[in-house]
Chain A
Amino acid sequence: MKKLLIRIVMASALLFVLNWIYTKWFYKKDVAKHSDILELVWQVEADSCRIVYLGESSNNTCGVEETGRKKISEYLAEYFPTMKTGDMTKEASHAQTYYYLLKNLSKKSTVETVVVTMNLRSFDARWIYSNLETPLRKQLVLMEDYPPFMNRLLLALKAYPIRSEEELDSLTRQHWREDPLVFPYEFEWDNVYQWDSAMAWRGLSNYEGQYDAKWTELACHYIKSYGFQIRDNNPRLKDFDDIVALSSKRGWHLVFNLMAENVDKANAYVGKDLMYLMKQNHDYLVNRYGHLEGVTLVDNLNLVRDVNFIDQDWTTEHYYEEGRRIIASQVAEAIKAYYPDDYREQALPCDAGHYFFGDEVRDLNAAVPYGPSLTLSGDSLPADWERVNVAFMMQQADTLHETNLVVQLVNPDGSAESRYYPPQCMKVGAWDFSTYDLSVDSAMRAAQQVKIFVCNPSESAVQVKRMDVSFRPAYLKPGVKARSSR
């Protein structure tokens, strides 16, 4: 036994030496080969960044023909020119990846503020059981808390979940079948599987009223991507909680950047039931993280309009320049409080056909019934402005009001036609958003004046903000931004 103990001591010494050799001469090469995301951490440290932006492909994806190809983090950096802002961007990453990256930031690093992308879809089964998960988890092994030699052993032993595509597919399907969808009202389907099958079976008609296979397929994608309810056992929550704990321990300002989703399309293709789930999940995250000390949650969920989404045939958070700038400006606004002296206002360019009425809150009631109004002459609407997405946020004290989105057409003979669209807001006493996909028809083009506004002529007051009007062609192509003359 004594001999064994001596050998154990010798073996420990040997391992110590081997760890030293490995760390000195092999580790960096291995990191470059198997865990290149760790190099992002080293880069942030080497650049002495004070703000670091952690994101996935939403940060660095640009449209094919875009001239402004900056990342969201680069636009963010423009708001703080006197400070170094870095980014750690890895495709398909999620909260667990961000946690590992942050965990590996040296205690000596100059980072003060971390902006962490919070992607709604990353809570969904399709992302949790994505086939990109295995390579991603493999990347994290060298970032464990053990000595590098031990981490390399873990990598060699494949100490990370390895699942085949069939297995992942089966887990996703199982989740779709077994995860119940609970609505506060009668809903036809019990789970995503049934809902998706029904959508595929019934089909979706396009603007011309004809069955459209592509639209149907896309609607099914939306159901599968957003048709879930975040519950307390969702694995992403633990990772975000870990980020909060780590951030608090390290004294960072933590900003969760809840990314914009294509709510316009979700609403147009699937409708209010999907919107309900998206809003419910959004509220869950806002309630869980939005009120924590040292944590700011930037809520971008409905801030980017359909025309600014690059992938028109899939559900992603890839935005054209305007979209990326909107997100950056929102994050900058949140960080401004920490660095008021370093903050420099940036002009937010608005694309042709896009009209945003800002964050100013308007009270609408019988005395002041009209909210901000967009007024255009019918003949100024370019031919390729065939649809218009309108969105606004509203807070209601009760449901007695008579608020509507109004599209008013004033004809050359002086007569007026008003079209009313009721809001989709369900919450009482909290902000909620509505979004509409309306047709720019011949009557609108013939009108002398087209007015788009929110109106509440009732005694029961509502508050309205962020009215957002975006004209666009009827059919958007993926990857190539629709261009219009102003």
Chain B
Amino acid sequence: MVFNSIEFLIFLPIVVLLFYVLPQKLRWVMLLAASCVFYMWFVPKYILILLVTIVIDFSAGVLMENYADQPKLKKTFLVISIVSTLLVLMIFKYLNFLTANLSLLCAQLGIEKRWVTNIILPIGLSFHTFQSMSYVIEVYRGHQKAERHFGYYSLYVMFFPQLVTGPIERPGNLLRQLHEKKAFDYDNISKGMRLIIYGFFIKMVVADHLGAYVDKVYAEPSAYNSWSVMLAMAFYSFQIYCDFFGYSTIALGSAKLMGFDISDNFRTPYLAKSIAEFWHRWHISLSTWFRDYVYIPLGGSRVKFGRWTFNILVVFVLSGIWHGAAWTFLFWGFAHGLLHIVEKALRNRFPEKEMQSKWLSVSIDALRIAKTFVLVTLFWVMFRATDFSNMKDMFVAVVSNFGGGESLGVKPEMWLYLGLFILSDLLLFNTRFDRWCDNKPMALRWCIYGLLVFLTVACSSVNSFPFIYFQF
């Protein structure tokens, strides 16, 4: 089930109502059943894959705790759990990519051997496998007590608001909350509704309208003039942000309706002054996952520069590959890693000096923000392009089509929607829409709700744009 569907708008109130009506001891059953329905709405059989991961990681958690005094055995359970989870990910996400590349390599070497696999990626696989892995790692490290209740553990992995595109929750946050008794609180309902309305606005009005322009240009870059191609690149930066941020915000709101606080995934990422800061603000649950479970175990920053460079590249390349099984994603991750290293090297070589003039300081910050935005936007081309050839066409069109080509013909209302979003994003700098509304007068709040609802309903795109991160 997707959030922007009539089914979800019927499903959610029913679930919330049942949640508050049912006694605490039955709530997990209802939430788990609802999550199953939510997931099975896509392709029912894929729930079996989820079940396999859940059973393995649940068992691993219990066994690791039971054999806590035998480190080798404990580690074995961890390895079995992680390997099997990664194996599932490998088969369903990367096997097509591997066989296609192997066949290509064989062809290059003149070997007459072809492997063709056509496995369809179950929706949200990368998200729930990572969430599951975070649980076993936390139990292994002793930061988390193993969950002994299979139902609660299943619900932790399958909790429907964040099941298919995150945020990737840690057991310390979500699993704990699932056990807590949640009493009805108007404030939760109010905040949840605010987040949902805002999420719908940025997904359905901003992201989906932008998507139409972006798709046109990426389908045939050479047909458009340089300015239009650049505009499409910039539009994609906002499309993917609004799309993912919108989904995450709706997820946050849906959980909030039942009193659950799930993690923020974004914090005004395009106001980042460096790539490092961008990753502190973009897809935070994934960045912190890689930080805690890959980067720090590799030694983090407390190593020599060379080793640190290696650590960073590993993390970013893995992050790229996590997004999708394609070379373009790998290079996207690599490019981010490389830039991160370059920025760090430059900072080491030219340490920041305190500015005397406030205006100068602000101007330099603005330039840094602009620089980061431009670079991130250029990197998004790798992410969005269907392949290297498409990516090349985009860059070629940027530099060669100044003289001719079609104009993108952006409608005035598009600028209005985008402008409204940028304004709201600036206003929400380091805060969240529900919290931002808290201290506003009621009349203003309701005017904002009215405007958002109106725009979402009357101005949303009628074209079908699935959530971008569904493919991961």
CA of A158 to CA of B462 in the docked complex: distance in angstroms? 7
A158, B450: Cβ atoms under 8 Å? no
Interface string of B444-464 (1 = CB under 8 A from A): 001001100110111011101
Across-interface contacts of B461 in A (CB, < 8 A)? 156
CB contact between A26 and one of B9, B453, B458 (< 8 Å): that residue:
B458
A14, B450: Cβ atoms under 8 Å? yes
Across-interface contacts of A7 in B (CB, < 8 A)? 186, 190
B195 CB, nearest partner CB in chain A, Å: 16
Interface 9-residue window, one of A15-23, A176-184, A292-300, A361-369:
A15-23
Does A138 have its Cβ within 8 Å of any Cβ on chain B?
yes
B454, A154: Cβ atoms under 8 Å? no
Across-interface contacts of B460 in A (CB, < 8 A)? 156
Across-interface contacts of A149 in B (CB, < 8 A)? 457-458
Across-interface contacts of B458 in A (CB, < 8 A)? 18, 22, 26, 30, 149, 152
With contacts A138-B462, A149-B458 taken as known, whether A156 is within 8 angstroms of B453 at the C-beta atoms is no
A159, B6: Cβ atoms under 8 Å? yes
Does B184 have its Cβ within 8 Å of any Cβ on chain A?
yes
Does B4 have its Cβ within 8 Å of any Cβ on chain A?
yes
B457, A3: Cβ atoms under 8 Å? no
Does A400 have its Cβ within 8 Å of any Cβ on chain B?
no
A160 CB, nearest partner CB in chain B, Å: 10
B462, A4: Cβ atoms under 8 Å? no
Does B5 have its Cβ within 8 Å of any Cβ on chain A?
yes
Q: Which A residues, 160 to 209, have Cβ-Cβ distances below 8 Å to chain B?
A: 162
Query: For B184, B190, B453, which residue has the most chain A Cβ atoms within 10 angstroms?
Result: B453
With contacts A156-B462, A162-B464 taken as known, whether A18 is within 8 angstroms of B457 at the C-beta atoms is yes
Q: Which B residues, 152 to 198, have Cβ-Cβ distances below 8 Å to chain A?
A: 184, 186, 189-190
Does B137 have its Cβ within 8 Å of any Cβ on chain A?
no
Closest to B208 in A: A156
Does A401 have its Cβ within 8 Å of any Cβ on chain B?
no
CA of A138 to CA of B5 in the docked complex: distance in angstroms? 14
Does A157 have its Cβ within 8 Å of any Cβ on chain B?
yes
Q: Which A residues, 119 to 174, have Cβ-Cβ distances below 8 Å to chain B?
A: 138, 149, 152-159, 162
B330 CB, nearest partner CB in chain A, Å: 28
CA of A425 to CA of B259 in the docked complex: distance in angstroms? 74
A96 CB, nearest partner CB in chain B, Å: 19
B412 CB, nearest partner CB in chain A, Å: 14
CA of A21 to CA of B453 in the docked complex: distance in angstroms? 12
B273 CB, nearest partner CB in chain A, Å: 36
Does B242 have its Cβ within 8 Å of any Cβ on chain A?
no
CB contact between B204 and one of A1, A17, A156 (< 8 Å): that residue:
A156
Query: For A152, A155, A157, which residue has the most chain B Cβ atoms within 10 angstroms?
Result: A157
Does A10 have its Cβ within 8 Å of any Cβ on chain B?
yes
B185 CB, nearest partner CB in chain A, Å: 10
Query: For B6, B449, B457, which residue has the most chain A Cβ atoms within 10 angstroms?
Result: B457
For chain B, the bracket of interface size reads 20 to 34
Does A34 have its Cβ within 8 Å of any Cβ on chain B?
yes
A18, B453: Cβ atoms under 8 Å? yes
Query: For B190, B454, B456, B460, which residue has the most chain A Cβ atoms within 10 angstroms?
Result: B454
CA of A158 to CA of B446 in the docked complex: distance in angstroms? 27
Q: Which B residues, 188 to 246, have Cβ-Cβ distances below 8 Å to chain A?
A: 189-190, 204
A150 CB, nearest partner CB in chain B, Å: 8
Query: For A4, A156, A158, A159, which residue has the most chain B Cβ atoms within 10 angstroms?
Result: A156
With contacts A4-B189, A26-B458 taken as known, whether A157 is within 8 angstroms of B453 at the C-beta atoms is no
Closest to A34 in B: B462
CB contact between B464 and one of A3, A14, A34, A158 (< 8 Å): that residue:
A158
B462, A14: Cβ atoms under 8 Å? no
A1, B446: Cβ atoms under 8 Å? no
B464, A18: Cβ atoms under 8 Å? no
With contacts A17-B450, A156-B462, A157-B4 taken as known, whether A1 is within 8 angstroms of B457 at the C-beta atoms is no
A10, B446: Cβ atoms under 8 Å? yes
With contacts A3-B186, A4-B186, A152-B457 taken as known, whether A157 is within 8 angstroms of B450 at the C-beta atoms is no
Query: For A10, A18, A158, which residue has the most chain B Cβ atoms within 10 angstroms?
Result: A158
Interface string of B6-27 (1 = CB under 8 A from A): 1001000000000000000000
Across-interface contacts of A4 in B (CB, < 8 A)? 186, 189
A157, B449: Cβ atoms under 8 Å? no
Across-interface contacts of A152 in B (CB, < 8 A)? 457-458
Across-interface contacts of B453 in A (CB, < 8 A)? 14-15, 18
With contacts A1-B184, A18-B454, A26-B458 taken as known, whether A154 is within 8 angstroms of B6 at the C-beta atoms is yes
A3 CB, nearest partner CB in chain B, Å: 5
CB contact between A158 and one of B5, B449, B456, B457 (< 8 Å): that residue:
B5
CA of A178 to CA of B457 in the docked complex: distance in angstroms? 41
CA of A181 to CA of B218 in the docked complex: distance in angstroms? 47
CA of A426 to CA of B466 in the docked complex: distance in angstroms? 54
| 26 A-B residue pairs with CB within 8 Å | A1-B186, A4-B189, A7-B186, A7-B190, A14-B449, A14-B450, A18-B450, A18-B453, A21-B454, A22-B457, A26-B458, A34-B462, A138-B462, A149-B457, A149-B458, A152-B457, A152-B458, A153-B457, A156-B4, A156-B456, A156-B457, A156-B460, A156-B462, A157-B4, A157-B6, A158-B462
A residues lining the B interface (CB < 8 Å): 1, 3-4, 7, 10, 14-15, 17-18, 21-22, 26, 30, 34, 138, 149, 152-159, 162
B residues lining the A interface (CB < 8 Å): 4-6, 9, 184, 186, 189-190, 204, 446, 449-450, 453-454, 456-458, 460-462, 464
A-B pairs with lowest CB-CB distance, top 7:
A156-B460, A159-B6, A153-B457, A157-B6, A3-B186, A18-B454, A22-B458
